[in-house]
Amino acid sequence: MSLSDLSPTWRKWLRRAIELLVIIIVIMGVRAWQQRDIASGPAPALQGVLLDKRTFVLPAKPEQPVLVHFWATWCPICRTEQGSLEALSNDHYKVMTVAMQSGERASVQGFMAEQKLSFPVINDPEGMLSAEWGVHAVPASFIIDTDGKIRFVEIGYTTGMGLRLRLWLAQF
């Protein structure tokens, strides 16, 4: 049996299945490339001065799961997640964000004020913290469990519900 023996309907479905397979392979390839150096296992050190001048140090064994979120002011996808991060932070989840290559402190502060955001931010103007975590693309979300290990990593858009579920699962 050859392709020419198939009915037009079957040929159309076969073509769609092949197109879908190609799309899935491309998406998986892009994700693999984005995550090529991403941190795994024990969370790398994370410490810095927040925009409000407080010092932050990620504990080796946090009391509750922590969301470490890398983003940038110039990233349109990051902007779509801002509301979810703000809600998580306001709902007493442990959230720490890193503004990657977004300019000097005053520039990031201005962005936060303009967007009416208050979640904690460490500015990473040169991308040094991002490099330590292996972040090449933003947004990038890491869920750190109470043993200090990275339990979940997501590159790209993530829903607020998805983040809440991962934070909840990281407790167990």
Kindly report whether the global pTM for this prediction surpasses the value 0.85: no
In whole angstroms, what is the distance from residue 85 CA to residue 30 CA? 25
Q: Which residue has the higher pLDDT, 157 or 30?
A: 157
Whether residue 55 sits in one domain with residue 27: no
Whether residue 73 sits in one domain with residue 7: no
CA atoms within 13 A on the CB side of 108: 23
Do the domain assignments include residue 165? Answer: yes
Q: Which residue has the higher pLDDT, 149 or 92?
A: 149
In whole angstroms, what is the distance from residue 156 CA to residue 140 CA? 6
Whether residue 132 sits in one domain with residue 57: yes
Do the domain assignments include residue 155? Answer: yes
Q: Which residue has the higher pLDDT, 149 or 15?
A: 149
pLDDT tens, residue by residue, 73-125: 999 999 999 999 999 999 999 999 999 999 999 999 999 999 999 999 999 99
Q: Which amino acid is at 172?
A: F
pLDDT at 3: 64
Q: How many domains does the chain have?
A: 2
Q: Which residue has the higher pLDDT, 10 or 36?
A: 10
Whether residue 51 sits in one domain with residue 17: no
List the single range of 36-40, 62-66, 94-98, 152-156 with lowest mean pLDDT. 36-40
The whole-chain average pLDDT of the chain stands at 93
For residue 152, name the pLDDT band (cuts at 50, 70, 90). very high
pLDDT at 33: 73
* 76: preceding bond cis by omega (within 30 degrees): no
Whether residue 7 sits in one domain with residue 82: no
Whether residue 20 sits in one domain with residue 77: no
In whole angstroms, what is the distance from residue 1 CA to residue 171 CA? 55
**By residue range, what is the domain housing residue 63?**
47-169
Whether residue 138 sits in one domain with residue 54: yes
For residue 29, name the pLDDT band (cuts at 50, 70, 90). confident
CA atoms within 13 A on the CB side of 129: 25
Whether residue 151 sits in one domain with residue 82: yes
